[in-house]
Amino acid sequence: MPVIFQDFFNDNGFTTLSAHTPDVGTGWTEDFTSPNQSTPNAMNITFEEDAATPSREDDNSRMATVTTETMSSANYQITVNLKTTPSDPDAPFFLAGRYDDDFGFYGAGGYRPNGGSDQSRGLVMFSIRGGTVFYLDANPNIGITAGDELRFIVTDERKALYLNGNLVLQSNDNAITDAGRAGMVFGNWLSTLDDVDNDMEISDFTVDTTIAPEPAKTEIPLIRVPSGPNSQVQLYKWEGLNETNRGEPFVEPKLTRKSIQVVGTFAGGLVRMEGALIPPGSPDAFPGMFVHMEDSLGIPVSFLANGVIDRINHAFAYRPVVVSGSGADVTLFLLSVEGG
């Protein structure tokens, strides 16, 4: 495994992270801390725990601690273990890739389950470009907790977040192309109400360039279910969805009301609906054009159990994917109502 940066946070005594030498690599830089703090927050190493943690709790603040050196490749994965996580629901943690400064990087991570000030945010993937946040993917149903392993893959082809080995978020965005630095960010990057909390302890930070390819998936056919003489109402289904396949795309040029239902065995699996926002076959289309669909309220369309979601947003094509859960076996129905 070509490891290009690694830190187990072992030290002989209590020290700031910026004064510490990692196991592989040059060092750490406290790149950003909220300007409203009279004394900048910093990362410390708690040597008894072999972990790194913010030096103190700061409400409505943010900080970024990143590698001193630029990564030698723009394609890499960052892996950490969460030793402890705070009880504060508004204290998120994100891994940062292709980090230039606080105005430009990719981030992925999130809050404890059902965390955040609106009690609906879990895991989030985003980019910051020119100081503006662009949301790339999210799942409000899953959060981070003590003992979790987070792995953030950053390549030209895809950005992907794995939680304990399971793919949970992904995007094909590639607006930021420079290798940048890798690191950890805390606090209010996404909401002014978010906090930095020193109960967040991180261990075993590793950046390496050996990235497993995305597992190949076969396509299972889309079946039209006979729905009677009313041609304005059409029902379709994908049957036998599991982690090794994905649904054949349903191309829908009409602006119709669409609802979906999922039934079957989940076994801890996560099912989501993806959509193409560019017409398939158009000059602007590309192989990774499918993104995570949202419902009419802007909530990502994902299922951890049998359920129904009414009124998903319009796309030019749709397909369901089981992104994790080796024991999942489900059927997804899509109801299309013209003029609904």
Q: What is the mean pLDDT of the chain?
A: 85
Residues 6+ apart with CB under 8 A from 289: 172, 276, 277, 278, 280
Q: pLDDT (tens digit, 9 = 90+) per residue, 106-125?
A: 999 999 876 555 545 688 89
**Mean pLDDT throughout 92-112?**
94
| Cα–Cα distance measured from residue 121 to residue 293, given in angstroms and rounded to the nearest whole number | 16
Does some domain include residue 37?
yes
Domain containing 76 equals: 3-208
Residues forming beta bridges with residue 109, ordered by sequence position: 94, 124
143 plus 286 within the same structural domain: no
Least confident of 69-78, 108-117, 248-257, 283-292: 283-292
Q: pLDDT (tens digit, 9 = 90+) per residue, 282-337?
A: 555 444 467 788 888 877 788 889 999 988 888 888 989 887 777 889 999 998 88
Point out the domain boundary residue: 208, 238, 256: 208
CATH number, domain with residue 240: 2.60.120
Range ranked top by mean pLDDT from 24-38, 78-92, 239-253: 78-92
Element (H, E) at 126: strand 121-129
The reported pTM is 0.76
143 plus 99 within the same structural domain: yes
Point out the domain boundary residue: 155, 178, 208: 208
Least confident of 55-59, 138-142, 159-163: 138-142
pLDDT at 103 over 70: yes
CATH number, domain with residue 140: 2.60.120.560
Task: Tell which wins on pLDDT, 209 or 255.
Answer: 209
Give the number of domains in the chain: 2
Does some domain include residue 213?
no
269 plus 164 within the same structural domain: no
> Rounded to 10 degrees, what is the CA torsion of 125, 128, 129, 130?
160
